[in-house]
Structure 1
């Protein structure tokens, strides 16, 4: 069975997180999983962590999230999650390590083939997931180079019901120390975004 899941965002609320886990458990017999993030505009790490726990057989480092320590005074650190623990960053930098921990009772998807569809609209947390899947070689990325929206941000009130969204840090590849701001992530298989799904289905036939 081939399972195709279209994802538009990771809102991070309890209902969405629970729905991801329930859906994956109910379809854990799939031999191939297609994650369609071509219109995914971002969000947080919670749904991502639930999804990844069903795909990795062993714990793995996925990415670093760095922010200047002075930004912590603004209560604007990296996206919070129990699976992001403090690491050792450069001087003056608060670093968190994003790691995946395998699910303890459901392992049927550990060996499934995984494809991740991307486009020039795939942004932010969806690019974070693209990096995680690509650098660990857990999925094949198919489509167009992503949007290049790396730097994470948080709102700061200005008064009079106004606020500014302030960039406070970046997500980076632990292997290269680079991020994808402004350049995006290049997929393993470059095809026009509207042909990405058919490309994968052809490869699965």
Structure 2
């Protein structure tokens, strides 16, 4: 058995009839298959009492001849899936063919050919992301169809493009689920760190796994207006994302009820021809104390699939205006606080006063960065605007930039330039050196220019 705790996309796979299932089967095969399924359910299904009921139902169905008419493997797999879901409608329970037809075995006999096939299949999925764009009104839009494992860098790249949008729409209409770690990673972009969002219970070992949000490799959007589009094909892990955001009142859900599958599990081999996905665990939301199993995630705004996109854009545009106005008001408040400090420059009579001013300016810019109001370029602009009229304040501002953006070579360059201009050549040289070291580490394209500036500063000092 190849174990992987994922939110499956079996509702797509199970009902896909293709050449992999075109194999004749007999009554003995059917009986042995059901016997093995029964054993696997009894040993692994997260709900032992329901497993017992499903086993009884399968045996009864076999005895009544419900599977008699199925002569091909694929149709038998579909019929089995239908019957094991009768008892509790667990949509994660599913059976599908697990073999390669004879005519394709020639091409897959060696590991390299198998690798190429898997590689090709994965590439076609584009790491599970279909589209990212910015809609008029500065609305970010992300459409994803799978939550594949090891795709954090793709998420980082896509959300980098949406980092300065004033509202975000995530379209999960056709998302069949996927890896829970990937789901959590996307959740973490829109939520504070160390927030409990789900608890997974697994029957084996009577184990509980608490799922917390965490740091991401990009810009978190914890207050941006968020809209999530869902529908009947929104399944499993995609439902978890939607349910998490809804329960925390972090997003508005638009569309139709989702599929209703909340239980993670494993793929088990029944025989050489068939595999079964069995939920080995179940989830519990810390706020609702339940999950979406069987009922799906219910959107706040119920609307048909064809209208869901346009409705979400309409609402996002309205929310974006409010968000921009809020950010503008917050920015104006901090700007006024800065101007008050700037106006008091003439009162600086001691080093203690200068240190206090540095602390006040750093506090304001730190708050601005935390509120997503000021960027590195914004702070540099404030500094450059004060170089001629308030060189001491400009120095303090550019020093703040090196503290708030310690990995940026350009912040140290700008600060070093001003220090040199203000006659502090030793300190300037130190900052030029840091700038060059960071640029070398990052292989920055402007490295040679920084080196020339550093050498010029050294010669000026002599």
Q: Provide the C-alpha distance between the structure 2 equivalents of 1:150 and 1:105, rounded to a whole number of angstroms.
A: 28
1:9 equivalent in alignment to 2:139: no
- SS at structure 1 position matched to 2:198: strand
1:133 Cα deviation after fit: 0.7
1:58 Cα deviation after fit: 4.3
1:128 Cα deviation after fit: 0.8
1:154 matched residue in structure 2? 266
Greater per-residue helix proportion: 2
1:59 Cα deviation after fit: 3.0
2:228 matched residue in structure 1? 116
1:42 equivalent in alignment to 2:155: no
Report the more deviating stretch, 141-150 or 16-25.
16-25
Match of residue 100, structure 1, among 201, 213, 219: 213
1:137 matched residue in structure 2? 249
The structure-2 alpha-carbon separation of the partners of 1:102 and 1:56, relative to structure 1 and needing over 3 Å to count, comes to farther
- SS at structure 1 position matched to 2:270: strand
- SS at structure 1 position matched to 2:250: coil
1:175 matched residue in structure 2? 287
Q: Provide the C-alpha distance between the structure 2 equivalents of 1:110 and 1:180, rounded to a whole number of angstroms.
A: 24
Q: Provide the C-alpha distance between the structure 2 equivalents of 1:102 and 1:136, rounded to a whole number of angstroms.
A: 18
| Mapping for residues 18-33 of structure 1, pairs under 5 Å | 18-33=153-168
- SS at structure 1 position matched to 2:152: helix
Match of residue 198, structure 1, among 290, 310, 316: 310
**When the two structures are aligned, how many residues end up with a matched partner?**
180
Q: Provide the C-alpha distance between the structure 2 equivalents of 1:5 and 1:176, rounded to a whole number of angstroms.
A: 27
**Greater C-alpha Rg:** 2
1:112 Cα deviation after fit: 0.9
1:5 Cα deviation after fit: 0.7
The normalised TM-score by structure 1 is: 0.80
The normalised TM-score by structure 2 is: 0.37
Asked if 1 retains the 8 angstrom alpha-carbon contact of 2:225 and 2:251, the reply is yes
Does 1 or 2 have the higher relative contact order (CA < 8 Å, sep 6+)?
1
The structure-2 alpha-carbon separation of the partners of 1:176 and 1:56, relative to structure 1 and needing over 3 Å to count, comes to closer
- SS at structure 2 position matched to 1:50: helix
Q: Provide the C-alpha distance between the structure 2 equivalents of 1:105 and 1:149, rounded to a whole number of angstroms.
A: 30
Q: Provide the C-alpha distance between the structure 1 equivalents of 2:163 and 2:238, rounded to a whole number of angstroms.
A: 22
- SS at structure 2 position matched to 1:166: strand
1:56 equivalent in alignment to 2:191: yes
Moved over 4 A (4+): none
1:77 matched residue in structure 2? none
Gaps of 5+ in 2: 1-137, 319-462
Asked if 2 retains the 8 angstrom alpha-carbon contact of 1:147 and 1:184, the reply is yes
Match of residue 186, structure 1, among 277, 282, 298: 298
CA-based RMSD of the aligned residues comes to: 1.9
Asked if 2 retains the 8 angstrom alpha-carbon contact of 1:121 and 1:147, the reply is yes
Q: Provide the C-alpha distance between the structure 2 equivalents of 1:96 and 1:110, rounded to a whole number of angstroms.
A: 24
